[in-house]
Amino acid sequence: MKIRTSLSRLLFAAVLCTCHTGFAEQRRDWMLDVQPGGTYLDVDAVFPGAQLTLEHRIPIYEKFNEIDLRVNSLLTVPYHESQVDLDVRVLLVTVGAGIGVNNTFRGHTFEPDEPISSAHRREREYDGDLTDETWWFTEGRVTLTIPLNDYVVFQNVNAPRYENRPARSFDWRTGVVHDGLLLKSEVMVFLKHREIGAFAPLVQLLNFDLDDDRHTVINLGYTLVTRPGFRRQDDILLLSMLFYTATLSDDMDIEDVYGFHPFFAPFTFSLVYRAVVDLNE
């Protein structure tokens, strides 16, 4: 699932600076502003699970440049993942890297000639034919964020990721079966308003290795984000969905493979509520 990366990019976006107003008047699109330095605890209710992130932001050469250090732990029904990240933002470009450990306790690892379709994975779930695997991973990130005006923000995120996972195993984060090396590129155009929040059409290119070959999938979707106001300030509600759309130059039927198989359809999603606790007060 894309839980951590989706929210981190929103909180990390280098867009036009607007200062926080009083508690009752905080903007509903505040997460798209440049965030102040300091130490913060992000408490997430994730469908289905929870996440804690400790974050320390260090402004450098004024507030449009920043070093961001993060440590997080994510627990969901199918897996647990912990990660350490370092990101450096210079004006509109953010470069980052991370390393972590994943324990998938509702895993699916397939034999060389075994089907990998969503239907077959559901059968394995019903039969309790699951694996418990632990592996390390590392990833990089290059993000370009361009504020076009007060209401439109363009963002492109490119992220290679290597996972020391078993070959032909299902990835609950991305909804595909692969051998460990992923290349992901996402383009979003956020339409934002201070009284509503933000909406972004989303295009994702996902390239992965499987059975000694590379496969590229195009997914289309959207991201909705707002401040729901359950707290006096600094909370976020995010819904992000991706739907399988096409496969590039590939004879593999990815539509039958892609997605969260319990939902009987080729899509993935993230639904998260986040409360940001300021530890500087």
Say what the pLDDT of residue 23 is.
Answer: 45
179: which 2 tokens? 């051998």
**What per-residue confidence (pLDDT) applies to 262?**
92
Contact 191, 161 (CB under 8 A): no
Q: What pLDDT is recorded for position 251?
A: 63
pLDDT of amino acid 109 = 96
* pLDDT the model gives residue 61: 82
Q: Is 180 helix (H, G, I), strand (E, B) or coil?
A: coil
pLDDT (tens digit per residue) in 140-177:
999 999 999 999 999 999 999 999 999 999 999 999 99
In angstroms, what is the C-alpha Rg of the chain?
19
Helix (H) or strand (E) holding 127: helix 118-127
CA 27 to chain centre: 23
- State the DSSP H helix or E strand holding residue 119, giving kind and residue range, or none if neither: helix 118-127
Of the candidates 180, 273, 179, 174, which has an alpha carbon nearest to the alpha carbon of residue 217?
Answer: 174
Q: Which of 66, 102, 96, 68 is nearest to 83 (CA)?
A: 102
List of E strands, the chain: 38-46, 49-59, 65-76, 79-90, 93-107, 131-147, 152-163, 169-171, 176-178, 181-193, 197-210, 213-226, 235-248, 267-278
CATH topology of domain 3-278: Lipocalin (2.40.128)
pLDDT of residue 178: 96
According to DSSP, residue 255 is labeled G
pLDDT for position 81 = 98
pLDDT of residue 12: 42
- Stretches in the chain below the pLDDT threshold 70: 1-24, 249-251
For position 16, what pLDDT does the model report? 33
Tell me the whole-structure pTM to 2 decimals. Answer: 0.87
Q: CA 16 → CA 66, 197, 217, 276, distances in Å?
A: 14, 15, 33, 21
pLDDT of residue 281: 73
- Looking at the DSSP bridge assignments, the partners of residue 229 are none
Q: How far is CA 228 from CA 12, 26, 30, 117, in A?
A: 19, 11, 11, 37
Count of CB atoms within 10 A of residue 157's CB?
19
- pLDDT in the model for residue 5: 52
